[in-house]
Amino acid sequence: MVGGHGLMKIRYPLLRPVILFTLMSSIGMSSPRHQHPFSLFIRAVAPTVKIGSEVRIDVTLRNITNHEIGILSSDPESEYMVEVRDDQGRMAPESDFNRKLKAPGSARIITNSPIYPLRPHKTLKQQIVVSGLYEMSTPTRYSISVSRTVPEELGSGVIKSNTVTVIVVR
């Protein structure tokens, strides 16, 4: 039977809970939001450095799943994409080393690059010499972040870290 508002009136009171349960179940069972397998956190080894000194960051990769995952653990400069911006938001110039590293056909092959088994909620810590990748010889405040590609077998995508600030002084 159709009421004045174009809605069908349900005359069977026992049917209402069944319909409500079915609707609630389908809402609750909708595809879960895709969650990445790991998170990235970075920390500046020294928040202030003198011109010409190395700028280093510690990178912590944490398995945020409930199962073991395999992480390639060889050369962090190749595994992570590092972004460095000056206090005006401009990208810092790449070093010669970084340009060669990114050049087509110049893949770095590290022998004995292990796949590190990372248990649930455990971390892998690595260090990157950022000043080896970017020219950081101008005294200013630099913002640094990293990202890492998620392998297809772990769901693909890109994970980004927090941003840290390093001040280069005279």
**Residue 135 CB: number of other CB atoms within 10 A?**
13
pLDDT at residue number 152: 87
Residue-wise pLDDT tens digits, 22-47: 333 333 333 344 578 999 999 999 99
Residue-wise pLDDT tens digits, 113-155: 688 899 999 999 999 999 999 999 999 999 999 999 998 888 8
Is the pLDDT score of 104 beyond 50? yes
pLDDT at residue number 113: 65
pTM (predicted TM-score): 0.74
Q: Confidence class of residue 100 from pLDDT cuts 50, 70 and 90?
A: confident
pLDDT at residue number 55: 96
Among all chains, which residue has been given the structure tokens 């080896």?
Answer: 132
Is the pLDDT score of 170 beyond 70? yes
Quick one: average pLDDT of 10-23?
Answer: 40
Residue-wise pLDDT tens digits, 41-83: 999 999 999 999 999 999 999 999 999 998 887 788 888 999 9
Is the pLDDT score of 94 beyond 50? yes
pLDDT at residue number 108: 54
Is the pLDDT score of 8 beyond 90? no
